Structure 1
């Protein structure tokens, strides 16, 4: 047997043994766009280990640890769809991930279907989609990329657990399950009517969730997006409301994430 085959067999033996051991300790990935959205989650974790990902000169920090007796990895991906997609893909390809949770804040959308949504309420994604993708000239639906569904469905078990978690941990807020839309814009009243025209059942808008759902769909990993409402996008001056209520909304999301992991 030549040296190449010997090295190959040794590599496969080591890889298979390490993979089996690692698969017994799968992790839940918790991904947020901003530090403020993950601070409370990181505080609640135990057995914490900070890891610096140095490949390609990245120097990207992640945190591994325990939350509600579950192995978790938290990462701040940065704002926007590309950042969310890149880091979800990276972690899913590098670590053994059982579930993906995208947590944070979003703008609430008041509509005929959701008339009473307010700041502090928590929205659980039944589906996610892009509001700023348009290939309708080629026969696709708004938000749909070629070869992919228009909407990416969240895992039903996670949706059920998240809905229960909101009711038990954020009693002062209402909980909703519905369509969350993503795009690379901070949405204000001037833009929201166009979005509602394309997606009448939208309940919240943000900038990362659909990319996380898109990548999770491609990797066949269960996902959910949990967003606490920081502002109402139909209201003038919603950017001021966002700044005022960001911490409260992030805190509510963190409590829900902790409870989901406890009952998962």
Structure 2
């Protein structure tokens, strides 16, 4: 839901693979240095995931105002999938949820995960959702981008504070 915050356990590129008569088969990108294929799912650093969860308990997230009233954003630990297209289709969202067990879809996270994986750099991808990746995605993005941005920044701010303690 818009305003909810996702802490990625892992990421994947949902539009990287091969389409055959039998269907779509996801593949990881090739490491340009070694030529080896990356795994489809790139895992977040478990310590950073745990610190992110702690940061979320300290954060003061902005409430999400909907037609049904205000609600507090949910914090979800799960799977984020990335692609080169903006998803504004209930059907495509459901397909990605089924194929990858995706909790969120966006356009950047797995690309950053890929570079960090190839360079041996620990990471965690954090997202605050601005839309539901359905037919209302475009207007919802305009409506909720400020709340999503504030909630994302709040989580990062709290996470940086915890990282400073180390």
**TM-score in terms of structure 2 length:** 0.79
Match of residue 51 from structure 2: 161
Asked whether the 8 Å contact 1:129–1:143 carries over to 2, the reply is: no
Q: How does 1:180-199 map to 2 (within 5 A)?
A: 180-189=80-89, 190-199=91-100
Per-residue deviation, 1:135? 2.9
SS at match of 1:259: helix
In the superposition, relative to structure 1, how do residues 141 and 150 fare at CA in structure 2: closer, same or farther (>3 Å)? farther
Whichever structure has more strand as a proportion of its residues is 1
Q: 2:9 matched to 1:126? A: yes
Whichever structure has more helix as a proportion of its residues is 1
Aligned length: 143
Match of residue 41 from structure 2: 151
CA distance in 2, matches of 1:168, 1:128: 25
In the superposition, relative to structure 1, how do residues 173 and 196 fare at CA in structure 2: closer, same or farther (>3 Å)? closer
SS at match of 1:224: coil
Segments of 5+ residues of structure 1 without an aligned counterpart are 1-117
Deviation digits for residues 199-225 of structure 1, max 9, x if unmatched? 1x2000111100100000011011111
In the superposition, relative to structure 1, how do residues 149 and 215 fare at CA in structure 2: closer, same or farther (>3 Å)? same
CA distance in 2, matches of 1:225, 1:206: 11
Segments of 5+ residues of structure 2 without an aligned counterpart are 31-36, 62-71
Structure with the bigger RCO (C-alpha within 8 Å, sep 6+) is: 2
Q: 2:104 matched to 1:221? A: no
Per-residue deviation, 1:196? 2.5
CA distance in 1, matches of 2:56, 2:27: 29
Per-residue deviation, 1:141? 4.5
SS at match of 2:131: strand
